[in-house]
Structure formats: structure tokens, C-alpha cells
Amino acid sequence: MATSTSCTGSTLLQPISKIIDLPLDQVNFVVCQLFALVTAFWFRLYLHPSKTSPFIRHVVATLLGFYLALFCFGWYALHFLVQSGLAYGVMIFTGVEHMHKYCFVVTLGYLSFCQVTRVYVFDYGMYSADFTGPMMVITQKITSLAFEIHDGLMKREEHLKPSQKYLAVRKMPSLLEYLSYNCNFMGILAGPTCSYNDYVAFIEGRCYEPKHLESNGKENGKFKQSDPSPKRDVIQKVCTCALSLMVYLVIYAACPTERVIDDTFMASNPFYIQVLYLYISMLALRPKYYFVWTLADAINNAAGFGFNGYNTDGTPKWDRISNLRILNIEFATSFKMFLDNWNIQTALWLKRVCYERCPYNPTAATFLLSAIWHGAYPGYYLTFITGIVVTMAARAVRHNVRQHFLGSATLKLIYDMITWFSTQMAICYTVVPFVLLAVGPSLKFYSSWYCCIHLLCVLLVLVLPVKSRRTKQQEQLSSVQASEQNCLSSPDNNCNQKQKAS
């Protein structure tokens, strides 16, 4: 019922909340996002970079963001400023050499403090719009920026990966640029995360310049062209939002996930019915996230942010900061494929700040960071711990089995069908604690399935060998060195071909 949760934001929309029987904070969130969508068109047309200075665009985007935050969360929105201010102080007053580490600890620590107090002090179990949601996105932006500044000011160019070269920030942002990046109206409520360089290019009107690398490795963006229109993509995304919301409100209301641990339901239905019900329930739950992330993407596109070049047919692409690919999610044939297309910008953040930089067991470290970032509910940790085991098992199966099914199209189709079913079951099984939140219900669900997927994954990891990332890198290095040695000792002229093949 709408009255079961409290709201710290504006009560202006309370009558609408009562009419449609939804929590007021959720109504505030949706209305603010729709307001941001309309405002984004105005921002692109009337505050276009060709007729408005970057300073004005930064100021307007920031002030509108603060207004939406105050409307939705009231005085709790001050946490956004406190978190951003603490991190900016760390950036200014600590050395660049260790600034990224301090920012990471301070920002993630403040987020965790707010999450713990919200869950265990104020309202445990409230699964609704809350002020820590925007803080999660701000945490991503602050920590990403800290690492990008560290890469740009401390590391030599030859020590950076190609993606790190593009993302590297070469000068410290001003306070206005920093606040605009963190708290602009397009992303303050639901993101998505983006790189600082991309955001500044959007504000300054450089985001439509074609980007490619010259032979010296430097980016060339000198040639301007007319701005492509996001109208078609925005309309498509708004229609996707409407369909997703309808599916969630209609189907999930009839098939809530909590029913999978209902004693009557488990006693009166055979196991295969329980499996089918769980799949339908999760299938109906995902559109809630499709709605939130697709609407956030549409808002940024409407403002002119998110352009990503052109398709082969000449139509513009507006997926630079998209957070999901729905068809790839629903038809994923591997656990990795599902994760790569779900909450894309968060996955990129985890990859850039953790997976690529952690020297020991990056997979486990990445899942642990993801659990800490999501919040203090125990169900999150059960989900991500299970995710570690499932990821390792899926990697082992793919490494040892997949090549045997590539001999013909029929075998490949059979493999894809089996892996699609296995992936969907693994996702459903893994995510249930994320929905149930508490330890008791989550363990009750796993025990009703006899922890079968846990046991199967552990068995696959123990039985099927798989090479670690470090071993693969060492083998690739040895192969390159051996190829170079053969070229030096060989009298023929095939060296260039061998080096290209390697």
C-alpha cells in the first residue's frame, strides 16, 4: 500500500499517490524524471553550446539537479553535497599519487555509512526510492574521476591502456564542473554513470565531433558537422519505458517473487512448476529496471548527450551511455553475456576501478565491491557470493565444452539452447536473495532447491580445468617472444606475417 512507506521529499503529489496506490517517493521519482525529460529538450534547443557558454550550461544543469533532488528526498539530498564535498577536498588537499585511493575509501565509506543507517536505523525492508540510490551513482562518478585524474597526471602515456588514455583527465576540474558532473539534472536521480571527459565534451559542444586515432595515437576531432537529432531514439525509448512499466505492474503483481518461499505454494506445486514460476516472476521483475534505466537514457539523449557515431545506414547511434540491451539480456547464452548487457555502465565502472587494477583474484574482488556498493542488505551479499561461483563454473564449461559444439550449425544451435536455459536458471537462482533481501527467506529458498546450483557449480569448478588470467597473459607473452625469436633466426621473409598473426 502507498501508506506503508514514508517519504522525505515533497508531499505535493500525495493525492496522486493515493489515487494510484503507489508510494509517494516512487511517484515523486517518476514525475521528476518526466519533468527532466521535458527540460532536457529545452536544454538542448535553447541552451545549445553554439549560443550558450559552458559556464551557463554547467550552472543550469547543476541547479536543476539540486531542485529535483530536494523535491524527491528533502533534506536528505544534502548527503549528495556532503559526499561530493568530502571527495573534492581529498582531491584538492592530497597528493595526486594516492588521491584516487583516498577518494575511493572516503566516497565508498560515506555511501556505506548512509546505507547502513537507512537499513538498520530508520526503515529496514523499505524497497522503494531512497536517497542512497543517487549516492550510488555519485560514488561511481567520483571514484571514476579520481582514477582518471590519477591516470592523467601521474602515469606516463605508454603505461596506459587505450581506453585509459581516452578517459584520462589532464587537469583538475573546477568546483562547478565537478558538481555539474556529479549532480546534473539528467543523471542525478538514476544516472547513468558516464566519463568526465564525455560529459565535459557534451557541455562544451564537442560530443558530435568524429573521434578517431591518428597514427601517433592522438585523438582527432577537428571536423565538425551538423548535430544529429535524438528524437527518434528518445521516442523509441519512451515507448519501451511504457511497455516495461505495464508488464511490471500487471504481471509482477500476479507473480511476486516472495511466493517462491511460501509454504503453501511449495507444498502444493511440483518442482518443475516452481521453476517455471520463478522464471516468469523474474522475467516480470526485470522491466522495472528496464523502465528506470531506459527513461534515464532517454533524458540524457533528449539533452543531446549519449551520441555514439553513426550506424552503417547513416542513422545516428545514441547508446554511448546506455545501461542495458534488453534483447541481449533476455536471450543471453552465458552468465557473462547477461552481466555484460545488464547495468552496463556499472559493469564498466567495476571493470575500470577494480577488475583491471586488482592484482589478486580480480573476479572475487569485483563481486565483493559490487555487493558493498549495492548496500547493506544481507541478500545482496548472498547474491554476489553465489555470482562468483556461477561465473567460475560458466567460465570452466565454456573453456572445456564449447569447442565441441562448433562443428556444425545444428550442434551450435543445440549448445545455444542449452546454455540459454542454463543461464536463465542460474540468473533466477542467483538473484532471489537480491529480491528477498533478508538472510532467513534467502536461505529458505536455497534450501528448498537443495542448493543444487551451488553444488553443481562447485563440482564443475573442481572437475573442469580453466586457466587464470595471469597464466593466459604469460602464455601470450611467451608466444610473442617465441615468434620474435623465430623471426630473428629464420632466413625467410615471413616474419611480418607471423607477427601480425600473433
| C-beta separation of 471 from 479 below 8 A | no
Determine the residue type at 360.
Answer: Y
**The 3-state secondary structure of 400-426, one letter per residue:** HHHHHHCCCHHHHHHHHHHHHHHHHHH
Positive or negative torsion for Cα 322, 327, 332, 333: negative
Give the integer Cα–Cα distance in Å for 345 and 187: 12
**Has 374 been annotated as catalytic?**
yes
**Has 343 been annotated as catalytic?**
yes
User: Looking only at Cα atoms, what is the longest distance across the chain?
Assistant: 85
79, 100, 374, 454: which one is catalytic? 374
**N residues, the chain:** 502
Give the integer Cα–Cα distance in Å for 437 and 421: 25
Give the integer Cα–Cα distance in Å for 502 and 498: 6
Q: Give the residue among 53, 58, 292 at the shortest CA–CA distance from 185.
A: 58
| C-beta separation of 177 from 200 below 8 A | yes
Looking at residue 357, what DSSP letter applies? T
Going by C-beta distance under 8 Å and a sequence separation of 6 or more, which residues neighbour residue 276? none
150, 184, 343, 454: which one is catalytic? 343
Give the integer Cα–Cα distance in Å for 180 and 199: 9
The residues annotated with a catalytic role in the active site are 343, 374
